[in-house]
Amino acid sequence: MEVLSLLLQGFSISILPANLLACVIGVVIGTLVGVLPGIDTISAIALLLPFSYGLESTSALIMFAGIYYGSKYGGSTTSILMNVPGEAASVVTCLDGYPMAQRGRAGAALAVSAIGSFIAGTIGIIGLTLLAPPLAQAALAFGPPEYFSIALVGLAVLSKLSGTSPLKSLLMAATGIMLGTVGMDSLSGISRFTFGIDELDRGFDLSILAMGIFGIGEIITVMTEPHIRPAVPTIRMRDLYPTKEEMRRSSTPMVRGGIIGFLVGLLPGPAATIASFVSYAVEKRFSKNPAEFGHGAIEGVAGPEAANNSAISATMIPLLSLGLPFCGATAIILSGFMLHGIIPGPALITQQPDLFWGLIASMYIGNVILLIINLPMIGVFVQLLKTPLHILMPLVAAITLTGAYSINNSIFDLGWVIIFGVIGFLLRRAGFEPAPLVIGLVLGPELERGLTQGLIISNGNVWTLVSRPISATILSIGAIIMLYNTARWFRKMQGERKGESC
């Protein structure tokens, strides 16, 4: 009851005109950040930090939080309509969202994405409301060996997302890991595989790779082989939103994705991106028709979109409860706290309850505002699909290249977007799916960092990485999953051989 009364007090603060306006501005900016490729949450908040000087501290932090979780709503739009991820966390949405758009179900995909984001966001906020302090303390029990184990198991389990052969998936994941080693090592400060090119010191940006492989790669594919892009059927009013069957199939993945995202969001790293891939793998595993994934499965949109939004609420838990930012976006929000003379941590809840509960209540309100904004816009977005190819593809290319340049204001990045676009085109022609490549780039650095830090802490004792209770449990679960998948593959191969012999 005490939590409920404090939350009601927070609502009374968040609906004050100044705070409500800050919430609306934040979620609108966040949606635009998500829709426009290349403009990330960190850059948007950093640009607005100086403008927050004149705002009251609660209003400023509500606006920053709105940009943060609002960007995840908008990230799915270009992924579904154009196969260009608006946010790194929306990469996996391309796998089924874009095929749905090609067969005239873009409206349903966008609606499910918005509804799933709302439901999962609500799950995450409820978790943030009820469980922030104990979960934050539990997250501190994870050290480098545990992060190493999570990354290793994640690579082994998640690399097989698509319908391609396991060998092709592993090759793509290994390539992603190798790309993740390019640049300056975060621990030693040594430049690796840069060949004296200063611009490579910062490594390959995930957004650059995703926009190149998915966006430019799709443009090259469509323009060189326009016959492979199916004509979009005439879209009727009732096609703009999901059918009862699509909502039935999406409801469980939304809830499941919300829970998965919340749990993954408690761990350091690109939580929203990892959560979306984990959710996709889980939905494919539980699906009665796994072969449909990659060809327009509604569950492949609902689960990951729910997961990346729920993860956002979870990443706020260590920030608010412990003052520890577990990802880049919460680190820049921490700067906003410090700018206004506020120190997040255990004392924040007791010493400044109005700010803490007002911020949480504003996230409830912001989720409702985002749903109100996004659902009516579905019809407008879907009209993009009716644009002729000779107009649409140059438009997509212009948006993608502008977004790529805006990340670091670098012509060098533009060159890499084009190179990755050609690579993406060639991978498609050779029958390789690029999703495992992205997984390798995301989890590879986490794997290396956990391994290096774990060995430093243990004075080079490798056994420490697998002997700690949490790490050993994670590795054991991963081993069981891999053995089970191997046994299934072996039985499938035996069945095929018996069928051929008959």
Q: Over pLDDT 70: what percentage of the chain?
A: 87
CA dihedral (208, 209, 210, 213) positive or negative? positive
Whether 457 is in a domain gets the answer yes
Whether 482 is in a domain gets the answer no
Asked whether residue 396 carries a pLDDT value surpassing 60, the answer given is yes
Predicted TM-score (pTM) of this structure? 0.77
The packing angle between helices 299-322 and 271-286, to 10°, is: 140
Whether 502 is in a domain gets the answer no
Which of 271, 281, 353, 250 has its CA nearest to residue 10?
Answer: 353
Asked whether residue 160 carries a pLDDT value surpassing 70, the answer given is no
User: CA dist 24 to 64, 217, 502, Å?
Assistant: 11, 35, 66
Least confident of 23-37, 102-116, 222-236: 222-236
Whether 249 is in a domain gets the answer yes
Whether 487 is in a domain gets the answer no
Q: Read off φ and ψ for residue 265, nearest 5 degrees.
A: -65, -15
Q: How many domains does the chain have?
A: 1
Place of tokens 């290793």: 152
Asked whether residue 1 carries a pLDDT value surpassing 80, the answer given is no
DSSP string, 338-402: HHTT---SHHHHHH-HHHHHHHHHHHHHHHHHHHHHHGGGHHHHHGGGGS-HHHHHHHHHHHHHH
Tokens of 360: 């949480």
Give 357-367 pLDDT, tens digit per residue: 888 888 888 88
Give 450-468 pLDDT, tens digit per residue: 888 888 888 878 787 777 8
Give 276-289 pLDDT, tens digit per residue: 888 888 888 888 88
pLDDT for position 408? 76
The whole-angstrom separation of Cα 106 and Cα 93 is: 12
Whether 481 is in a domain gets the answer no
Asked whether residue 39 carries a pLDDT value surpassing 80, the answer given is no
pLDDT for position 234? 52
Whether 495 is in a domain gets the answer no
Number of H helices, E strands in the chain: 22, 2
Alpha helix (H) residue ranges in 140-243: 144-158, 166-180, 206-210, 217-224
Name the pLDDT band for 225 (thresholds 50, 70, 90).
Answer: low
Whether 480 is in a domain gets the answer no
pLDDT for position 226? 57
- For residues 277, 280, 281 and 287, what is the CA-based torsion angle, rounded to 10 degrees? 180
Asked whether residue 238 carries a pLDDT value surpassing 70, the answer given is no
pLDDT for position 338? 79
Domain housing 144:
1-467
pLDDT for position 442? 79
Average pLDDT, the chain: 79
Asked whether residue 210 carries a pLDDT value surpassing 70, the answer given is yes
The whole-angstrom separation of Cα 297 and Cα 299 is: 5
DSSP string, 67-113: HHHHHHHHHHHHHHHHS--SSGGGTTHHHHHHHHHHTT-HHHHHHHH
- Residue positions counted in the chain: 502
Give 41-92 pLDDT, tens digit per residue: 777 777 777 777 778 888 888 888 888 888 877 778 878 887 777 777 778 8
